[in-house]
Amino acid sequence: MPATRPLGDARAAQPLSEINVTPFVDVMLVLLVIFMITAPMMHQGIDIDLPETTTQPLRVRNEPLILTVRKDGTVYLNRTEVPAAELQAKLEAIFDGQDDQEIFLRADAAAPYGKVAQAMAAAREAGAKKLGMVTEPERR
């Protein structure tokens, strides 16, 4: 039975035709929260197929400096093991002869976080201006 106005009202015979928007607002707020949570998880970018070529890679004179931290905590500069105590001094000597002072960090996923942080701090203290992190592409 539709709601009617009180008896004292002149329009008592007319039913109420107002829409209750509270449930609509509730649903919209729930949808907003869902979109806010899922939006960062969506992939960014456009999927494209790049053309394949038969060209050779460019030869670079200066080999990039790669700082590797293994899962047992040992530190390597390129392929040479370096004691953690000597890392900063060796990096300072290397950076003295370079213009760009760029280093790439490769850390094992199981490497202790403290060892990786110490290696990064040593690189920064030695004067590294750019620190790139090397990762493997995601397997699908």
Architecture of domain 65-133: 2-Layer Sandwich (3.30)
Neighbours of 103 (CB within 10 A): 25
pLDDT at 130: 86
pLDDT on residue 58: 44
Provide the residue-wise pLDDT of the chain in tens; the chain has 140 residues.
555 556 555 556 677 778 888 999 999 999 999 988 888 776 655 455 555 666 554 444 567 888 888 888 889 888 888 998 899 998 888 888 777 788 888 888 888 889 989 999 999 998 888 888 887 777 66
State the pLDDT at residue 118.
Answer: 92
**pLDDT of amino acid 127:** 87
So where are the chain's domains? 65-133
- Asked if 95 contacts 101 with a C-beta cutoff of 8 angstroms, the reply is yes
Which residue in this structure is represented by tokens 């919209």?
28
Using CA atoms, how far apart are residues 127 and 43, in angstroms rounded to an integer? 35
What pLDDT, on the 0 to 100 scale, is given for residue 6? 60
CA 109, CA 26: separation in Å to the nearest integer? 43
